Amino acid sequence: MNHNHPKEERTLVLLKPDAVQRALLGEIIHRFERKGLKIIGLKMIQMDEVLAKSHYGKYVDKPFFEGLKNFMGAAPIVAVVISGVGALKVVRTLIGSTKAYEAAAGTIRGDFAMSTQSNLIHASDPEENPEEEVTRFFSENELFSYKKINFDLLYAADELK
């Protein structure tokens, strides 16, 4: 068994109001766990206007921003930090296309969503500073570091070189 593990990545996932309202929280989180990723932070919050402007800042001047802000504040959201080797890419693969009606079957959006806005879930874009998103929603004392007992079974030694 290889014990020189590569650095794990962490990424932010937001389960949007439609995921909360449709009772899909457990199903969605279960998919990440089943894949072998670690949940290292988890909390339910209400997205207010300040947080919406901070998180979706690049869209503030767009005509759809008001609708997006209202949608994200319509019910609580669940913020999750997920960790694992290659987590940024793996999470986005599991989620599927932003345009949920185009998302592949088997992905979270492909199986449960039909809309672009009500697409259940947000995940950090690897190109847009995922660490900044993590720290926007979580302080370091709200995140946990631990080794999954099945890590060596999830990652074959030759894949980690």
Under 8 Å between Cβ of 29 and 38: no
Catalytic residues: 122
The reply to whether 142 falls in a domain is yes
- Residue 89 and residue 100: Cα distance in Å, rounded? 18
The reply to whether 51 falls in a domain is no
The reply to whether 116 falls in a domain is yes
The reply to whether 60 falls in a domain is no
CATH number of the domain that 14 lies in?
3.30.70.141
The reply to whether 64 falls in a domain is no
53 is in an annotated binding site: no
16 is in an annotated binding site: yes
136 is in an annotated binding site: no
109 is in an annotated binding site: yes
pLDDT tens digits, one per residue of 117-157: 789 999 999 888 899 999 999 999 999 999 888 888 888 76
Name residues of the chain where pLDDT drops below 50. Answer: 1-4
Residue 155's nearest CA partner among 85, 87, 92, 90 is: 85
Q: How many domains does the chain have?
A: 1
- The pLDDT of residue 1: 40
Q: What are the CA-CA distances from residue 60 to residues 21, 33, 54, 63, 142 (Å)?
A: 25, 34, 9, 8, 28
Residue 81's nearest CA partner among 27, 45, 135 is: 135
- The pLDDT of residue 6: 60
Q: Where are the alpha helices (DSSP H) in 12-156?
A: 17-21, 25-35, 49-55, 65-72, 87-95, 108-112, 130-137, 151-154
Residue 133 is part of which domain span?
A: 9-45+79-160
- The pLDDT of residue 158: 55
- The pLDDT of residue 144: 97
- Residue 55 and residue 13: Cα distance in Å, rounded? 12
93 is in an annotated binding site: no
- The pLDDT of residue 139: 97
Residue 19's nearest CA partner among 28, 30, 7 is: 28
